[in-house]
């Protein structure tokens, strides 16, 4: 296996607000990185190293220094749809978005349902360096919902979990066996919870607004039914089960109940479900067409509350790049998905400023919490000796989101053209600087 | 004369009551043109109207074509069948192509909700929605309003019962929106499988029983039942639909004695409406067709005769 080059020069991040949920730390301190590891954290911890000439000191006063962010749900489109994104552009966007690791879903062409594809994308990412790529393999061959993939192979090749992504595993017996089999190899089983029988032709959340717009609805029930069924199967099998991009208040209730009984279940939520409702669709804005759909205010409130109290473990972007051709068209023809890697932090910081989410919990939901769901993950903490995965955020930087500002090949986001406040300014992966914001 | 405050007609939402009245009053002036020996006025001479139809439609397209021709506009019909869509010209490219032809009005019928909004944002001309997906059919609602006013003398405070497949009906949505402007009590009735989600949000009263829904009605609007609704477990049979929600003479006896029956066409006789009603003197189906030409003439005149830069009807937010 290829390894990342580990710089030998120590890096000192001096005077930032250090937020480390793994130790509850929230104070002004230096973070010293050496030989790919966190060497020291503390007030003036950098002083002892600064006398050394061969050291890089970065003044990060006013910025937040956090354990590196991890995105459990992205689409990098390679192999097969490189016109939307590829591994190089996707990982570059991830680094600029503050992510030290991303987990691409297997819905590539061909589908990542075997060792060869997993090895290909993992190797490609290692050649590129920077943000790590920790892929999901498919649950079933061809994401067809019938035969299990060779999960031992997938795991050995580098897969951290399995998911059939947008194609929910509809057959309960297949899902049961997938959970049992995945448990054998300690793979996380992530499910896109959608009863496809209930969502034929669906374009948006089912409710007053879908009726007003004349678009076919995607009822909450289609999500809740699968979450309920899968929680029962998770209890039966003991699998580590994960609800991808949770969107309905009913699903939140079900997860909360399951966790109260100690089940090993988890959930992620996207920035767009935390920030928008189906009201954003009233002018048929295809940039807001996404699956699961943007729902109503009461769902959004439930998601925010559940993220704050830990019922929802983590934030994942579901970064879904699409070209103009796939979005500049009839709403019903438009592809589903929002480009999210480079806007997640900037857009979500509003929730911190509004005191909906506390800073430490915000950082945890992006770092330690997703890290815990990945087998043998070494990042997610700024404790001494841990791998030096670090994200630095300038929380006050104002910038305008333009197409040119994005490293992603696509720019399908409803935030395009908006002024945002806050932005990742440095991303350190295993001690190496993978991204650094150029200040004008 | 005061200019009309909208450039497009995309939806009933966004129209005020007085704007609706203005359209209906203008239509009244044009209604008489279609009954003259020479059924043509020079109002839109030199103007170009393109009928862009992505769904097959005989009566709406013909009605717009006649309306344009009777106003002396040059009318071009573009029928884009499903097959040529699958060959791949995007709506974006179609808009560019049309824009290069410099039309004054594009009349669009499309299977996708919101497609007229898309076209309106990309071609520098007036756009009239001639029906988009399950979203809206504003000219149908206006011609229905014209017909009601013609036969009942007023639009105000009537009881209007809409029967059948409300879930898939752009006609029902637009009619409900328009009738509410005039204080009408709008009722909907049909099997729950054919009512939309959050149906109350349309501002209508929902009935499960036809007899209760028809009691005291001034207007009965019958919607077309598509046989494809039998797929997807929405209806067990057309027979049972006809037996429970079909409008026959017995059902009409519950409405007011002078109640009228409307249908946007084409009718499925023996399914949603019985011939004894469709052909009775309470039926205003053919009057709807005649009104349609007048209302569309009025709209073409108001939009193309006096183009403005004002916001579109039905543009939200």
Q: What is the pLDDT of residue B307?
A: 43
Taking the C-alpha atoms of residue A131 and residue A74, their distance in angstroms, rounded to an integer, is 13
Residues in chain A: 440
Tens-digit pLDDT profile for residues B94-110: 999 999 999 999 999 99
Q: Which of A331, A348, A373 is the last residue of a domain?
A: A373
End-to-end CA distance of chain A: 38
Contact between chains at A329 and B90 (C-beta distance less than 8 A): yes
Residue A245 clears pLDDT 60, i.e. is over it: yes
Contact between chains at B132 and A217 (C-beta distance less than 8 A): no
Q: Does A298 touch chain B (CB under 8 A)?
A: no
Taking the C-alpha atoms of residue B163 and residue B160, their distance in angstroms, rounded to an integer, is 10
Which are the contacts of A354, defined by CB distance < 8 A and separation ≥ 6? Answer: none
A35 lies in the same domain as A103 = no
Q: Does B161 touch chain A (CB under 8 A)?
A: no
User: What part of A 306-325 touches B (C-beta under 8 Å)?
Assistant: 325
Structure tokens at A237: 């099998």
Tens-digit pLDDT profile for residues A318-365: 999 999 999 999 999 999 999 999 999 999 999 999 999 999 999 999
Contact call for residues A302 and A252 (beta carbons, < 8 A): yes
Alpha carbon B295 to chain centroid distance?
A: 10
Closest CA to A108 of A125, A120, A92: A120
Mean pLDDT calculated for residue range B296-303: 97
A60 lies in the same domain as A207 = no
Mean pLDDT calculated for residue range A28-41: 96
Phi, psi dihedrals of residue A297, rounded to the nearest 5° = -55, -40
Give percent above pLDDT 70 in chain A: 98
**Within a domain: A408:** yes
Contact call for residues B106 and A188 (beta carbons, < 8 A): no
Q: What is the pLDDT of residue B82?
A: 59
- Quote the DSSP letter at residue A201: T
Contact call for residues B12 and B141 (beta carbons, < 8 A): yes
Residue of A nearest to B197 (CA): A207
Contact call for residues A234 and A265 (beta carbons, < 8 A): yes
Q: Which residues of A touch B13 (CB under 8 A)?
A: 212
Give percent above pLDDT 70 in chain B: 93
Ramachandran area for residue A26 (φ above 0: left; ψ -120 to 50: alpha; else beta)? beta
Q: Does B315 touch chain A (CB under 8 A)?
A: yes
Contact between chains at A282 and B136 (C-beta distance less than 8 A): no
Active-site positions of A? 318
Q: What is the pLDDT of residue B127?
A: 98
Q: What is the pLDDT of residue B305?
A: 84
Q: Which helix (H) or strand (E) holds A181?
A: helix A172-184
Q: Does B113 touch chain A (CB under 8 A)?
A: yes
Mean pLDDT calculated for residue range B226-247: 90
Residue B308 clears pLDDT 50, i.e. is over it: no
Domain CATH code at residue A17: 2.30.40.10
Which are the contacts of B82, defined by CB distance < 8 A and separation ≥ 6? Answer: none
Nearest to B135 among A206, A213, A333 (CB): A213
Nearest to B113 among A219, A328, A332 (CB): A332
pLDDT-derived band at A52, boundaries 50, 70, 90: confident
* Residue A418, burial from CB neighbour count under 10 angstroms (0-12, 13-18, 19+): middle
Tens-digit pLDDT profile for residues B207-230: 999 999 999 999 999 999 987 777
Phi, psi dihedrals of residue B303, rounded to the nearest 5° = -85, -45
A147 lies in the same domain as A264 = yes
HSE-up of residue B164 (Cα within 13 Å, Cβ side): 29
Residue A1 clears pLDDT 50, i.e. is over it: no
CA distances from A44 to A15, A38, A147, A389, B275 (A): 8, 15, 57, 20, 92
* Domain range enclosing A271: 68-373
**Within a domain: A410:** yes
A419 lies in the same domain as A360 = no
Contact between chains at B113 and A331 (C-beta distance less than 8 A): yes
Distance from CA of B91 to the nearest CA of A (A): 6
Nearest to A325 among B90, B110, B202 (CB): B90
Taking the C-alpha atoms of residue A114 and residue B276, their distance in angstroms, rounded to an integer, is 66
Contact between chains at B317 and A282 (C-beta distance less than 8 A): yes
**Within a domain: A2:** no
Nearest to B317 among A217, A283, A331 (CB): A283
HSE-up of residue A305 (Cα within 13 Å, Cβ side): 12
Taking the C-alpha atoms of residue A176 and residue A87, their distance in angstroms, rounded to an integer, is 32
Q: Does B197 touch chain A (CB under 8 A)?
A: yes
Q: Which residues of B touch A215 (CB under 8 A)?
A: 113-114, 133-135
End-to-end CA distance of chain B: 29
* Mode of pairing for the β-strands spanning A217-218 and A204-205: parallel
Task: For domain B17-136+289-304, give the fold.
Answer: Rossmann fold (3.40.50)
Q: Does A219 touch chain B (CB under 8 A)?
A: yes
What total of structural domains would you count in chain A?
A: 2
Residue of B nearest to A199 (CA): B232
Answer CATH for B138-284 from 3.10.129.10, 3.30.110.40, 3.40.50.1370, 3.40.50.720? 3.40.50.1370
Residue A72's SS3 state is strand
Residue B316 clears pLDDT 80, i.e. is over it: no
Q: Which residues of B touch A333 (CB under 8 A)?
A: 91, 112
Q: Does B202 touch chain A (CB under 8 A)?
A: yes
**Within a domain: A199:** yes
**Within a domain: A6:** no
User: In 10 A of CB B236, how many CB atoms?
Assistant: 11
Mean pLDDT calculated for residue range A28-39: 96
Taking the C-alpha atoms of residue A371 and residue A313, their distance in angstroms, rounded to an integer, is 10
HSE-up of residue B270 (Cα within 13 Å, Cβ side): 4
A241 lies in the same domain as A309 = yes
pLDDT-derived band at B201, boundaries 50, 70, 90: very high
Q: What is the mean pLDDT of chain A?
A: 96
Q: Mutate which of B92, B114, B229 to test chain A, going by most A C-beta atoms within 10 A?
A: B114
A34 lies in the same domain as A160 = no
Q: Does A333 touch chain B (CB under 8 A)?
A: yes
A271 lies in the same domain as A300 = yes
Distance from CA of A328 to the nearest CA of B (A): 7
Taking the C-alpha atoms of residue A236 and residue A355, their distance in angstroms, rounded to an integer, is 39
Q: B143-176 burial, b if ≥16 CB within 10 A, otherwise e?
A: bbbbbbbbbbeebeebbbbbbbbbbbbbbbbbbb
**Helices and strands (DSSP H and E) totals, chain A:** 14, 19
Q: What is the pLDDT of residue B288?
A: 97
Contact between chains at A211 and B202 (C-beta distance less than 8 A): yes
Q: Does A296 touch chain B (CB under 8 A)?
A: no
Contact between chains at B317 and A207 (C-beta distance less than 8 A): no
A362 lies in the same domain as A397 = no
Q: Mutate which of A197, A200, A201, A212 to test chain B, going by most B C-beta atoms within 10 A?
A: A212
Contact call for residues A294 and A309 (beta carbons, < 8 A): no
Q: What is the mean pLDDT of chain B?
A: 93
CA distances from A192 to A371, A420, B147, B229 (A): 20, 30, 50, 29
Residue B3 clears pLDDT 90, i.e. is over it: no
Residue A3 clears pLDDT 70, i.e. is over it: no
**Within a domain: A378:** no
Q: Mutate which of A221, A287, A330, A334 to test chain B, going by most B C-beta atoms within 10 A?
A: A330
A352 lies in the same domain as A396 = no
Please indicate whether the domains covering B17-136+289-304 and B138-284 agree at the CATH topology level. Answer: yes
Q: Does B233 touch chain A (CB under 8 A)?
A: no
Q: Does A215 touch chain B (CB under 8 A)?
A: yes
Q: Please state the three-class secondary structure of chain B as a single string.
A: CCCCCCCCECCCCCCCHHHHHHHHHHHHHHHHHHHCCCCCCCCCCCCEEEEEECCCCCHHHHHHHHHHHHCCCEEEEEECCHHHHHHCCCHHHHHHHHHCCCCCEEEEEECCCCHHHHHHCCCCCEEEEEEECCCECHHHHHHHHHHHHHHHCCCCCCEEEEECCCCCCHHHHHHHHHHHHCCCEEEEECCHHHCCCCHHHHCCEEECCHHHHHCCCCEEEECCCCHHHHHHHCCCCHHHHHHHHCECHHHHCCCCCCCEEECCCCCCECCCECHHHHCCCCECHHHHHHHHHHHHHHHHHHHHCCCCCCCCECCCC
CB pairs under 8 A between A and B: 76
Domain CATH code at residue A111: 3.20.20.140
Q: Mutate which of A196, A206, A211, A414 to test chain B, going by most B C-beta atoms within 10 A?
A: A211
Tens-digit pLDDT profile for residues B115-133: 999 999 999 999 999 999 9
Ramachandran area for residue A421 (φ above 0: left; ψ -120 to 50: alpha; else beta)? beta
Contact between chains at A214 and B113 (C-beta distance less than 8 A): yes
Tens-digit pLDDT profile for residues A64-117: 999 999 999 999 999 999 999 999 999 999 999 999 999 999 999 999 999 999
Q: Which of A373, A400, A424 is the last residue of a domain?
A: A373
Q: Does B296 touch chain A (CB under 8 A)?
A: no
Domain map (residue ranges) of chain B = 17-136+289-304, 138-284
Q: Which helix (H) or strand (E) holds A351?
A: helix A344-353
Q: What is the pLDDT of residue B310?
A: 45
User: What part of B 62-91 touches A (C-beta under 8 Å)?
Assistant: 90-91
Which are the contacts of B291, defined by CB distance < 8 A and separation ≥ 6? Answer: B27, B31, B143, B144, B146, B147, B150
Taking the C-alpha atoms of residue A306 and residue A312, their distance in angstroms, rounded to an integer, is 5
* Residue B207, burial from CB neighbour count under 10 angstroms (0-12, 13-18, 19+): middle
Torsion angle in degrees (nearest 10) through CA of A219, A222, A227, A230: 180
Closest CA to A49 of A65, A38, A62, A60: A38
Taking the C-alpha atoms of residue B186 and residue B195, their distance in angstroms, rounded to an integer, is 14
Q: Does A284 touch chain B (CB under 8 A)?
A: yes
**Within a domain: A88:** yes
**DSSP-assigned beta bridge partners for residue A29:** A16
Residue A289 clears pLDDT 90, i.e. is over it: yes
**Within a domain: A331:** yes
Residue of B nearest to A220 (CA): B197
Q: Does B316 touch chain A (CB under 8 A)?
A: yes
Contact between chains at A215 and B135 (C-beta distance less than 8 A): yes
A95 lies in the same domain as A220 = yes
A119 lies in the same domain as A253 = yes
């Amino acid at each position: 296996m290829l390894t990342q080059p580990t710089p030998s020069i120590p890096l000192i991040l001096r005077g930032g607000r250090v937020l480390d949920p793994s130790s509850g730390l929230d104070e002004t301190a230096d973070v010293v990185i050496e030989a790919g590891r966190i060497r020291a954290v503390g007030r003036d911890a950098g002083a002892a190293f600064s006398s050394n000439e061969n050291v890089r000191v970065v003044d990060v006063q006013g910025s937040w220094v956090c354990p590196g962010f991890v995105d459990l749900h992205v689409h990098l489109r390679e192999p097969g749809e490189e016109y939307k994104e590829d591994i190089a552009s996707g990982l570059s966007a991830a680094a600029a978005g503050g992510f030290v690791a991303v987990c691409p879903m297997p819905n590539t062409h061909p589908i990542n349902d075997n060792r060869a594809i997993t090895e290909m994308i993992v190797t490609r990412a290692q050649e590129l360096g920077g943000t790590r790529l920790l892929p999901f393999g498919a649950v079933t061959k061809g994401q067809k919902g019938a035969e299990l993939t060779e999960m031992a192979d997938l795991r050995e090749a580098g897969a951290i979990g399995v998911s059939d992504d947008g194609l929910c595993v509809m057959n309960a017996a297949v899902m049961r066996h997938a959970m049992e089999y995945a448990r054998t190899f300690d793979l996380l089983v992530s499910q896109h919870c959608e009863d496809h029988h209930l969502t034929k032709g669906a374009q948006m959340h089912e409710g007053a607004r879908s009726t007003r717009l004349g678009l076919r609805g995607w009822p909450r029930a289609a999500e809740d039914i699968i979450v309920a069924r899968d929680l029962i199967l998770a209890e039966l099998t003991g699998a580590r089960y994960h609800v991808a991009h949770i969107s309905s208040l009913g699903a939140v209730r079900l997860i909360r109940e399951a966790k109260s009984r100690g089940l090993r279940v988890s959930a992620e939520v996207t920035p767009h479900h935390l920030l928008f409702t189906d009201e954003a669709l009233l002018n048929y804005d295809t940039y807001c067409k996404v699956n699961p759909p943007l729902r109503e205010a009461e769902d959004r409130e439930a998601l925010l509350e559940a993220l704050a109290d830990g019922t929802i473990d983590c934030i994942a972007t579901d970064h879904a790049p699409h070209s103009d051709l796939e979005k500049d068209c009839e709403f019903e023809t438009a592809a589903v998905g929002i480009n999210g890697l480079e806007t997640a932090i900037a857009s979500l910081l509003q929730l911190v400023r509004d005191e909906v989410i506390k800073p430490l919990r915000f950082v945890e939901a992006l770092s330690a919490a997703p890290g815990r769901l990945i087998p043998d993950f070494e990042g997610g903490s700024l404790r001494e000796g841990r791998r030096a995965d670090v994200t630095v955020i300038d929380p006050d930087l104002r910038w305008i989101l333009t197409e040119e500002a994005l490293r992603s090949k696509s720019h399908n986001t409803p935030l395009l053209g908006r002024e945002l406040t806050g932005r990742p300014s440095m991303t350190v992966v295993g001690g190496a600087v993978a991204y650094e914001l150029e200040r004008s | 004369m005061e200019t009309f405050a909208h450039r497009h007609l995309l939806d009933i939402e966004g129209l005020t009551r007085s704007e609706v009245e203005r359209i209906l009053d203008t239509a009244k002036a044009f209604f008489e043109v279609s009954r003259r020996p020479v059924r043509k006025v020079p109002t839109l001479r030199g103007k170009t109207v393109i009928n862009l139809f992505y769904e097959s439609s005989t009566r709406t397209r013909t009605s717009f074509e006649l309306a344009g021709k009777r106003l002396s506009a040059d009318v071009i019909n573009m029928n884009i069948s499903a097959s040529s869509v699958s060959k791949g010209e995007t709506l974006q490219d179609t808009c560019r192509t049309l824009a290069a032809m410099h039309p004054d009005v594009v009349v669009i019928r499309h299977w996708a909700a919101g497609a007229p909004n898309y076209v309106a944002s990309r071609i520098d001309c007036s756009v009239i929605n001639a029906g988009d997906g399950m979203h809206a059919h504003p000219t149908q609602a206006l011609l229905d309003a014209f017909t009601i006013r013609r036969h009942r003398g007023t639009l105000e405070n009537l009881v209007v019962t809409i029967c059948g497949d409300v879930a898939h009906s752009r006609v029902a949505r637009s009619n409900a929106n328009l009738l509410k402007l005039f204080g009408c009590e709008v009722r909907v009735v049909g099997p729950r499988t054919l009512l939309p989600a959050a149906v109350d949000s349309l501002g209508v009263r929902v009935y499960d029983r036809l007899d209760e829904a028809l009691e005291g009605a001034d207007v009965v609007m019958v919607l077309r039942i598509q046989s494809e609704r039998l797929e997807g477990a929405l209806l067990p049979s057309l027979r049972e639909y006809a037996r429970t929600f079909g409008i026959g003479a017995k059902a009409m006896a519950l409405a007011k004695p002078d109640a009228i029956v409307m249908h946007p066409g084409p009718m499925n006789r023996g399914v949603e409406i019985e011939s004894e009603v469709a052909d009775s003197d309470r039926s205003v189906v053919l009057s709807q067709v005649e009104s349609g030409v007048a209302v569309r003439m009025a709209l073409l005149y108001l939009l193309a005769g006096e183009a403005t830069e004002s916001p579109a009807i039905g543009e939200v937010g």
